[in-house]
Protein backbone atom coordinates (compact mmCIF):
# COMPACT_ATOMS: atom_id res chain seq x y z
CA UNK A 1 0.00 0.00 0.00
CA UNK A 2 1.07 3.58 -0.65
CA UNK A 3 0.61 6.44 1.84
CA UNK A 4 -0.78 9.72 0.49
CA UNK A 5 -1.70 8.44 -2.94
CA UNK A 6 -0.68 10.83 -5.72
CA UNK A 7 1.72 12.56 -3.31
CA UNK A 8 0.71 16.15 -2.72
CA UNK A 9 -2.93 15.65 -3.81
CA UNK A 10 -4.96 17.12 -0.95
CA UNK A 11 -7.80 14.62 -1.46
CA UNK A 12 -5.58 11.70 -0.45
CA UNK A 13 -3.77 13.11 2.60
CA UNK A 14 -3.46 10.65 5.49
CA UNK A 15 -4.72 7.72 3.45
CA UNK A 16 -3.31 4.43 2.14
CA UNK A 17 -4.29 2.68 -1.08
CA UNK A 18 -3.38 -0.62 -2.69
CA UNK A 19 -1.11 -0.39 -5.72
CA UNK A 20 1.02 -2.61 -7.92
CA UNK A 21 4.64 -1.61 -7.31
CA UNK A 22 7.72 -1.76 -9.53
CA UNK A 23 11.15 -1.06 -8.03
CA UNK A 24 13.65 1.20 -9.82
CA UNK A 25 17.12 0.24 -8.59
CA UNK A 26 18.70 3.32 -10.20
CA UNK A 27 16.65 5.75 -8.10
CA UNK A 28 15.91 3.41 -5.15
CA UNK A 29 12.22 4.34 -5.52
CA UNK A 30 9.06 2.68 -6.78
CA UNK A 31 6.48 3.23 -9.47
CA UNK A 32 2.95 2.76 -8.15
CA UNK A 33 0.19 1.66 -10.50
CA UNK A 34 -3.24 2.30 -9.01
CA UNK A 35 -5.95 0.17 -10.66
CA UNK A 36 -8.71 1.82 -12.72
CA UNK A 37 -11.99 2.54 -10.93
CA UNK A 38 -15.28 3.15 -12.65
CA UNK A 39 -14.57 5.52 -15.55
CA UNK A 40 -11.15 6.52 -14.18
CA UNK A 41 -8.08 5.32 -16.05
CA UNK A 42 -5.09 3.67 -14.41
CA UNK A 43 -3.14 6.21 -12.34
CA UNK A 44 0.66 5.90 -12.29
CA UNK A 45 2.93 7.63 -9.82
CA UNK A 46 6.72 7.52 -10.19
CA UNK A 47 9.44 8.19 -7.63
CA UNK A 48 7.57 6.78 -4.64
CA UNK A 49 10.09 6.50 -1.75
CA UNK A 50 10.29 3.57 0.65
CA UNK A 51 8.84 5.58 3.55
CA UNK A 52 5.50 5.93 1.74
CA UNK A 53 5.02 2.14 1.54
CA UNK A 54 3.58 -0.38 3.96
CA UNK A 55 2.15 -3.87 4.02
CA UNK A 56 -1.64 -4.04 4.09
CA UNK A 57 -2.85 -3.89 7.73
CA UNK A 58 -5.25 -6.82 7.32
CA UNK A 59 -5.63 -9.66 4.88
CA UNK A 60 -8.79 -8.25 3.28
CA UNK A 61 -9.45 -7.49 -0.37
CA UNK A 62 -9.66 -3.73 -1.04
CA UNK A 63 -13.20 -4.39 -2.34
CA UNK A 64 -14.38 -6.04 0.91
CA UNK A 65 -15.23 -4.40 4.22
CA UNK A 66 -12.95 -5.49 7.06
CA UNK A 67 -15.09 -6.15 10.13
CA UNK A 68 -13.12 -5.05 13.19
CA UNK A 69 -13.35 -6.90 16.49
CA UNK A 70 -11.95 -4.03 18.58
CA UNK A 71 -14.67 -1.36 18.36
CA UNK A 72 -15.68 -1.97 21.98
CA UNK A 73 -12.16 -1.07 23.13
CA UNK A 74 -12.02 2.39 21.51
CA UNK A 75 -11.71 5.50 23.70
CA UNK A 76 -11.44 9.20 22.82
CA UNK A 77 -7.90 9.99 21.69
CA UNK A 78 -7.26 6.54 20.18
CA UNK A 79 -5.78 6.58 16.68
CA UNK A 80 -7.74 4.61 14.07
CA UNK A 81 -7.93 3.80 10.38
CA UNK A 82 -11.25 3.40 8.63
CA UNK A 83 -12.05 2.15 5.15
CA UNK A 84 -13.53 4.68 2.73
CA UNK A 85 -14.39 4.54 -0.97
CA UNK A 86 -15.90 7.05 -3.35
CA UNK A 87 -18.58 4.71 -4.66
CA UNK A 88 -19.42 1.02 -4.81
CA UNK A 89 -17.25 0.48 -7.93
CA UNK A 90 -14.08 1.76 -6.21
CA UNK A 91 -11.87 -0.19 -3.82
CA UNK A 92 -11.53 0.94 -0.23
CA UNK A 93 -8.61 3.03 0.93
CA UNK A 94 -7.55 3.30 4.57
CA UNK A 95 -7.95 6.74 6.16
CA UNK A 96 -6.31 7.91 9.38
CA UNK A 97 -8.38 9.51 12.13
CA UNK A 98 -8.78 9.88 15.88
CA UNK A 99 -11.62 8.77 18.16
CA UNK A 100 -13.42 11.86 19.44
CA UNK A 101 -15.94 12.74 22.12
CA UNK A 102 -19.70 12.63 21.74
CA UNK A 103 -21.39 16.03 21.49
CA UNK A 104 -23.01 15.38 24.89
CA UNK A 105 -19.56 14.98 26.54
CA UNK A 106 -17.50 17.90 27.82
CA UNK A 107 -14.26 15.97 27.21
CA UNK A 108 -13.10 15.92 30.85
CA UNK A 109 -11.16 12.72 31.40
CA UNK A 110 -12.63 11.87 34.83
CA UNK A 111 -16.24 12.33 33.67
CA UNK A 112 -16.10 11.02 30.10
CA UNK A 113 -18.34 8.03 29.35
CA UNK A 114 -17.95 8.05 25.57
CA UNK A 115 -16.33 4.60 25.67
CA UNK A 116 -19.54 3.12 27.15
CA UNK A 117 -21.76 4.53 24.40
CA UNK A 118 -23.02 2.42 21.50
CA UNK A 119 -21.63 5.07 19.15
CA UNK A 120 -18.01 5.92 18.28
CA UNK A 121 -17.11 9.41 17.06
CA UNK A 122 -14.39 9.41 14.38
CA UNK A 123 -12.59 12.66 13.61
CA UNK A 124 -10.44 13.42 10.59
CA UNK A 125 -8.73 16.61 11.72
CA UNK A 126 -6.82 17.12 8.48
CA UNK A 127 -10.12 18.35 7.01
CA UNK A 128 -11.17 21.91 7.83
CA UNK A 129 -13.82 22.58 10.50
CA UNK A 130 -17.25 22.40 8.90
CA UNK A 131 -16.15 19.92 6.22
CA UNK A 132 -18.61 17.07 5.72
CA UNK A 133 -15.65 14.65 6.00
CA UNK A 134 -14.28 16.06 9.26
CA UNK A 135 -16.40 13.94 11.65
CA UNK A 136 -18.65 10.90 11.51
CA UNK A 137 -20.29 8.54 13.99
CA UNK A 138 -20.34 4.75 13.67
CA UNK A 139 -22.05 2.03 15.68
CA UNK A 140 -19.92 -0.20 17.91
CA UNK A 141 -22.36 -3.10 17.58
CA UNK A 142 -23.75 -2.84 14.05
CA UNK A 143 -20.56 -2.39 12.02
CA UNK A 144 -21.33 -2.19 8.30
CA UNK A 145 -20.75 0.02 5.29
CA UNK A 146 -22.51 3.38 5.56
CA UNK A 147 -22.74 6.29 3.17
CA UNK A 148 -24.06 7.58 -0.12
CA UNK A 149 -22.95 8.54 -3.64
CA UNK A 150 -22.31 12.16 -2.59
CA UNK A 151 -20.06 11.63 0.44
CA UNK A 152 -18.73 8.17 -0.34
CA UNK A 153 -18.97 4.98 1.70
CA UNK A 154 -17.09 4.06 4.86
CA UNK A 155 -16.96 1.12 7.21
77: left (phi over 0), alpha (psi -120 to 50) or beta: left
Q: Which helix (H) or strand (E) holds 47?
A: strand 43-48
Is the pLDDT confidence value at 79 over 70? yes
User: Phi and psi for 116 in degrees, rounded to 5?
Assistant: -95, -5
Q: Is the CB of residue 16 less than 8 Å from the CB of residue 52?
A: no
Q: 28 — phi, psi (to 5°)?
A: 55, 40
Q: In this predicted structure, what is the pLDDT of residue 32? A: 94
The fraction of the chain above a pLDDT of 70, given in percent, is 95
What per-residue confidence (pLDDT) applies to 52? 93
What pLDDT band is residue 8 in, cutting at 50, 70 and 90? low
Phi/psi of residue 74, nearest 5 degrees: -80, 135
CATH of 71-154, one of 3.40.50, 2.30.30, 3.40.190, 1.20.1070: 2.30.30
* CB-based contact 99:80 (threshold 8 Å): yes
Sorted by where each begins, the domain ranges of the chain are 2-52, 71-154
% of residues, the chain, pLDDT over 90: 39
Is pLDDT at 6 greater than 80 in this prediction? no
Question: In the predicted model, is pLDDT for residue 50 greater than 90?
Answer: yes
Mean pLDDT computed over 1-20: 80
Q: Is the pLDDT of residue 120 over 90?
A: yes
State the virtual CA torsion across 64, 70, 74, 77 in degrees, nearest 10.
-60
Least confident of 29-33, 34-38, 68-72, 107-111: 34-38
Which is more confident, 130 or 109?
130
Amino acid sequence: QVYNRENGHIGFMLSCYDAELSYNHQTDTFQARYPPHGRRAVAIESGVPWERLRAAPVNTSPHDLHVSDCLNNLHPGDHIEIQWRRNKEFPYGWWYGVVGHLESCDGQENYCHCHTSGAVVLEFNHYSPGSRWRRTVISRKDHRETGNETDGFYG
